[in-house]
Amino acid sequence: SANASLKTLCTVRRLFLLLGIAGLLVGTAAGAWLLAKHLKKGQLDQAFTALQEPDAISACSDSEEEEPVVRGARNRVSFRINVANALLEAQVEGRPGWLLACREHWSLSLGTLLCRQLGYLRMTHQKGVNLMDIKVNDTQEFVQVRPHHEGSLEDMWQVRSRCESGRIVALKCSECGLRPGAARVVGGADAPPGRWPWQVSVYQGSQHHCGGSVLAREWIVTAAHCVHSYRQLQASSWLVFAGIITRASIRQEDGVSVKKIIYHPLYNNNSLDYDIALMKLQVPLNFSDAIRAVCLPLSQQDLFQGTQCWVSGWDTRPDQAQVTETLKEALVPLIGTKRCNSSCMYAGELTARMLCAGYVQGKIDACQGDSGGPLVCQDEFAWRLVGIVSWGQGCAEPNHPGVYTNVAQLLPWIYDITE
């Protein structure tokens, strides 16, 4: 009996020993396989890792960024429309002062192109003006369109000492970016009537759903994420209310029905890239002191970190889920994209079609009720739609400022749709 027990014990020990050796061999093989897989994965992900470290996701930093948040085109010729007499003027690199534009070889399409470059949606009027009818210095120079011109807008001009025809170009573009005078109000306060005349409330059925901005009498721009999930519904189920400050003043019969909705074909519902949509109204809006269009960004304008801009809307605050009754406004500075994409903020989630604005401390932000609403910045000429409220983490949370659609990156699509 003792011998039998001893034999059994030995057999069990041998069995455990064999199992241990087998386990060791299996573990070694598995380890080798995992190591090989890891090394292979490291090779496959090498490009991705290079993007994430350190360029796409930089370390947290409070340092100033030299790169503009919104980058304009680098052109040798820039233009403006003289507000006093509507004359088209050009500034040529290397030449002092502003040059007048000769009427020679001018075309209707040029007027549209120049209005768009200046941030207007369309051209409304152009004509030739006799030089004899205005006062011109003897040293005044001119630009003239090259005959049989081809190529870019800036390459089609030549400098002249006089206009052969004796006529120069006057140009009028669609009015935008102007508002009736209003006292400055500190960010976070109620917005006075007429202060943001391009702000609209977009209703789905009988509920405020998103904000939006007036681009023209018949065109509203908003965020694609506001409408994409409802794309199976009829466009006419959407209503736009313009010229309102308090939601209590809204009457359903004052809403303008939407005729069609076009969201960007590259819109991504997961990343919110290309987060922009256009609404064409059934009937045009009647412009007034309370209802006006906002300008689009200038094609040659740079906007840097710290530029003070304004966001407005019927915001949803962290302590209440209800949309506020009165239109709110807040002053928010632009934040450098590199900083906003850093490891302590959005860790590489921003694309070229996005920009950040707000406070790192998280004191003021745009919230859900503002989705699709405007982020506007003022220059010496007008208020311009720089961003569209898109997304963010929470509401006014530290290190998570608001993220906006970068309108300047999407101008060709806007012009193509609204043409």
The domains found in the chain, sorted by start residue, are: 77-173 (3.10.250.10), 199-281 (2.40.10.10), 308-408 (2.40.10.10)
Q: How far apart are CA 110 and CA 391, in angstroms?
A: 37
List the catalytic residues: 225, 275, 371
Which SS3 state, helix, strand or coil, does residue 190 take?
strand
Q: Are strands 99-101 and 142-145 parallel, antiparallel or unpaired?
A: parallel
Residue 299: predicted pLDDT: 77
- The pTM of the full predicted model, rounded to 2 decimals, is 0.77
Cβ-based burial of 217 (10 A; exposed 0-12, middle 13-18, buried ≥19): middle
Residue 126: predicted pLDDT: 93
Residue 321: predicted pLDDT: 54
- Cβ proximity of 381 and 301 under 8 Å: no
Q: What is the pLDDT of residues 317-340, one digit of tens each?
A: 444 456 677 888 889 999 988 889
Number of alpha carbons in the 13 Å side-chain half-sphere of residue 247: 20
Which DSSP state fits 223? -
Residue 22: predicted pLDDT: 54
Q: How far apart are CA 308 and CA 187, in angstroms?
A: 11
Amino acid at 190: D
- Cβ proximity of 121 and 219 under 8 Å: yes
- Name residues of the chain where pLDDT drops below 70: 1-66, 69-75, 151, 181-189, 300, 315-323, 365-369
- Cβ proximity of 342 and 358 under 8 Å: no
The contacts of residue 387 (CB under 8 Å, 6+ apart) are: 309, 355, 357, 374, 375, 404, 405, 406, 407
Instruction: Report the chain's C-alpha Rg in angstroms.
Output: 30
Q: How far apart are CA 356 and CA 304, in angstroms?
A: 11
Q: What is the pLDDT of residues 109-142, one digit of tens each?
A: 899 999 998 999 999 999 999 999 988 888 899 9
Q: Are strands 99-101 and 88-92 parallel, antiparallel or unpaired?
A: antiparallel
| Cβ neighbours of 63 (radius 10 Å) | 9
Residue 96: predicted pLDDT: 83
Residue 36: predicted pLDDT: 35
Residue 64: predicted pLDDT: 52
| Cβ neighbours of 391 (radius 10 Å) | 19
Which DSSP state fits 367? -
Residue 34: predicted pLDDT: 38
Which DSSP state fits 299? T
Q: Bridge partners of 333?
A: 308
